[in-house]
Amino acid sequence: MAHSMDLYFEQTVESVREMVKFDSSYKQEEGYPFGKQTAECLRAFLALASSFGFQTRNYDDYAGEITFGEGEELAILAHLDVVPAGGGWKYPPFGAVVNDDVSAGGVKGKKIWGRGTMDDKGPAVSCLYALKALKDQGFCPKRKIKFILGCNEESGWKCIDHYKAHAVMPKEGFTPDADFPAIYAEKGILHLLVSFPLSGKDCLFLEGGKAANMVCDEVLARLSKRAGNALALFQNPIQNTTLSYDNTTGYLRAIGKSAHGSTPEKGANALYALLAFWKEFDDGAKQAYDALVLDALGLTNLQDETGKCTLSAGKAILVQNVLNVTLDVRFPATYKKEDVLTLFKQGGVEAKELSYQAPLYNSKTDGLITTLLGVYNQITGKNALPIAIGGGTYARAIEKGCAFGPEIEGDEVTIHQPNEYITFERLRLLNRIYYEAIKRLCE
């Protein structure tokens, strides 16, 4: 059955493509808090909203705001920054190529390829067109909608801190940046820098990984000849990873597969493969392997209805014979960060806190959750129940928040991985769901 949002579909596609063409991954560039292209992406998004007749405001290129209606405030929080593209792409990560190729993604039908198509530019654009459709139809929301666009969600949330310092954050809202049907709880997030002093000199250089919240997919290390020669007899226990050694240069390269830090089991960690080999030559490497791979610290003993505690190594570097690893730890919503830090201390592993986000926990029967869940079930014909996740979203930036889409269980997961895409079918569904959700929350 046709929906009023279908009239806006072609425009939605073209606007998603426009936003994806900006490489809005974090960069240190003078005059811009998160990089020039990130600022340009925000400005382009706000200009598009302004052309639709909405009031907009740019908060110093940290965040943007689009407002519609009057009354009690409702937040829609999305982000325009992306994680680094990384390697392994069939199509340019910022090319916004459109085709129906299935060789780089197993789903049939037309797709837009590019970093940010699903996380989070595609859903953000969909929400904007939902607002435009409601406005064009003369809908008068009984709440003031604040559509807030962050530019630093993937690497620190300074965008949200800046927004809160200069504006009032609504007490209730949703973010289109996780999974359907509706998320009532999110695990706590700890980014830690852990250090393992090495006992030998067999590793002369090591560096790998791209971001704290991405599974480390490549590590380059320079080994002593003694260690390098032993690689021929090594049997790698880390599935879907490879190790290769160049006898001429003495460099060992470990290759794995990236994934989101909240779901490390969907990736293959290259650092773990290197440690599995290196631990035979160095007690410090063995301590790192035992702690990070074998769970010698007992992190998985922390568990509740939101799941077990997970750990993902994102980045690694060797400094003065000390291996420093940046970890992404997701702990169950009913626990505290002190529970995690105590386990590292008891295990004799030095851990420095880099960032922290407290868990989110709402009642499954809360009005926001039941309304969004009802919209999803009505449009999809399903009878789904609310869920908890390990990912961290902007939902926890507000007093009562819910992450709502765009992924659905069973999807091929490409977020934070090469060949990220959004299908036309999913984009059409998002348009319908976000239109109905906003309308129902503001009637």
Residue with tokens 């902007």: 394
Structural domain boundaries in the chain: 4-187+360-442, 188-357
Residue from 156, 217, 155, 157 nearest 25 by CA: 155
Task: Give residue 365's pLDDT band: very low, low, confident or very high (50, 70, 90).
Answer: very high
- For the stretch 368-390, pLDDT in tens is 999 999 999 999 999 999 998 88
- For the stretch 30-42, pLDDT in tens is 999 999 999 999 9
User: Please, where are the H alpha helices in 363-423?
Assistant: 367-380
Residue-level pLDDT at 227? 80
Q: DSSP secondary structure string, 75-108? A: EEEEE--B----S--SS-TTS--EE---SSSS--
pTM exceeding the 0.75 threshold for the entire prediction: yes
Q: Which helix (H) or strand (E) holds 15?
A: helix 9-20
Task: Give residue 359's pLDDT band: very low, low, confident or very high (50, 70, 90).
Answer: very high
Architecture of domain 188-357: 2-Layer Sandwich (3.30)
pLDDT of residue 443 exceeding 90, the answer is yes
Both tokens assigned to 220: 């380059």
Query: Helix (H) and strand (E) counts for the chain?
Result: 10, 24
Distance CA 388, CA 185 (A): 5
> Which CATH number does 4-187+360-442 carry?
3.40.630.10
CB half-sphere exposure, 411, CA atoms < 13 A: 18
